[in-house]
Amino acid sequence: MASAYELTRDELTGLLAGEPKYRVDQIWQGIWEQDRFPEEITTISKALREKLTAELPLALAVANDVSTDEGTTRKWVYRLHDGYTIETVLMNYEDRVTVCISTQAGCAMGCTFCATGQAGFSRQLTLGEVVEQVVRAGRAAAPRRISNIVFMGMGEPLANYDVTVGTIRALHHERGLSARNLTVSTVGIAPAIERLALEGLPLTLAISLHVANDAERDELIPINKRYNLERLYQACEVWRAETGRRISFEWALISGVNDTDQALYELAEYARPLGAHVNLIPLNPTPGFLVIGSPAARVRYFRDELEELGVNATVRRTRGRTIDAACGQLANVTNGKRRSIPVR
């Protein structure tokens, strides 16, 4: 099905054949600048609104809407037209408003500590389905404006490459969001990182590293068997050379697994030559992965030791854990039930 968020101006002009030319501007501004759905654009006739609503239906239907952190974190479960569900998270901070969006229904990467990976892959999202997540979050955030977008929801963004890049360009050109405020996360699909480096987009690249030796990373992040740490390192060098942008390494601290001194030194040796920044994230609980996150004291020690070893590191503040909205917890949960199959 077509989506208003997938149309070019020329395609919209074709759809409006026979209408005055200024209608294109009215509708384009309503959709992209005012976050209005076609049925809400009151500067056009009721008949035209009904036509647009029928021919450009919305892609997402709210299946669940929950909040936590005193209302500052909000998660939506959206049902797609074929019954699959995805999740979007809105986070309000004092200085910014961030939305975490999904690019796939499920995920094929199979990372053992991630709820989405455990649920399996259903399908790729369309451009309209991804962009509409941002539009709906923007409506919910009003009167504040979305300032940051992170491609860290369900799915591997670089496995849905064209839609991810198309979304970035649409948000940049049509909504005026700076690419510098957009972060794309990846488990390390090396060729796609190198391709992204040539797109001319000054976005932030966040690599879910989590382990810095191949034997253990093969177990936690299966894609490492295809693109090992050496190959990933080469892609990181291409990224730095082509973009001049710093890389972030994400490191979910798992007690007794990757919070040891050995793991710390391996990470430092890998990150320091790249000038990478490390984001430390105490592991969030996920069903089926029977380990726990590192205690706070160990997290602080890990950060401090990395700094001593010449690696910039910060501890990411966890948001949304109580509603399964935190890092690694998104897994199609509606009414307390995890789903990996279509919801009819």
Q: pLDDT digits over 14-42, tens only?
A: 999 999 999 999 999 999 999 999 999 99
Rounded-to-integer distance, Cα 178 and Cα 89, Å:
20
Element (H, E) at 197: helix 190-197
Helix axes 161-175, 190-197, angle to 10 degrees: 30
Predicted pLDDT of residue 331: 54
Concatenated DSSP letters for 76-135? EEEE-TTS-EEEEEEEE-SS-EEEE--SEEE-SS--TT-HHHHH-EEEEPPHHHHHHHHH
Q: Looking at the structure, do residues 83 and 51 belong to the same domain, yes or no?
A: no
Q: Looking at the structure, do residues 80 and 50 belong to the same domain, yes or no?
A: no
Nearest to 31 by CA among 23, 22, 21, 41: 41
How much of the chain, in percent, has pLDDT values that exceed 70? 90
Predicted confidence (pLDDT) per residue in 37-74, tens digit = 999 999 999 999 999 999 999 999 999 999 987 878 99
Predicted pLDDT of residue 344: 28
The answer to whether residue 100 is catalytic is no
Rounded-to-integer distance, Cα 88 and Cα 76, Å:
5
Q: Looking at the structure, do residues 30 and 168 belong to the same domain, yes or no?
A: no
Q: Looking at the structure, do residues 104 and 19 belong to the same domain, yes or no?
A: no
Q: Is residue 4 part of a domain?
A: no
Catalytic annotation, pick one of 107, 114, 236, 327: 327
Query: What's the start-to-end Cα distance of the chain, in Å?
Result: 18
Whole domain around residue 324: which residue ranges?
A: 61-338
Q: Looking at the structure, do residues 45 and 106 belong to the same domain, yes or no?
A: no
What total number of domains does the chain contain? Answer: 2
Q: Looking at the structure, do residues 45 and 84 belong to the same domain, yes or no?
A: no
Q: For the residues 199-219, what does the mean pLDDT come to?
A: 97
Predicted pLDDT of residue 268: 99
Q: What is the CATH number of the domain that holds 186?
A: 3.20.20.70
Q: Is residue 2 part of a domain?
A: no
Predicted confidence (pLDDT) per residue in 212-237, tens digit = 999 999 999 999 999 999 999 999 99
Q: Looking at the structure, do residues 124 and 73 belong to the same domain, yes or no?
A: yes
Q: Looking at the structure, do residues 13 and 94 belong to the same domain, yes or no?
A: no
Q: Is residue 207 part of a domain?
A: yes
Q: For the residues 185-203, what does the mean pLDDT come to?
A: 98
The answer to whether residue 327 is catalytic is yes
Q: Looking at the structure, do residues 206 and 334 belong to the same domain, yes or no?
A: yes
Coil, strand, or helix at residue 222?
Answer: helix
Q: Is residue 26 part of a domain?
A: yes
Q: Looking at the structure, do residues 72 and 20 belong to the same domain, yes or no?
A: no
Catalytic annotation, pick one of 6, 87, 132, 250: 87
Predicted pLDDT of residue 248: 98
Predicted confidence (pLDDT) per residue in 232-283, tens digit = 999 999 999 999 999 999 999 999 999 999 999 999 999 999 999 999 998 8
Q: Is residue 153 part of a domain?
A: yes
Q: Looking at the structure, do residues 235 and 123 belong to the same domain, yes or no?
A: yes
pLDDT band per the 50, 70, 90 thresholds, residue 330: very low
Q: Looking at the structure, do residues 149 and 51 belong to the same domain, yes or no?
A: no
pTM (2 d.p.): 0.90
Predicted pLDDT of residue 1: 58
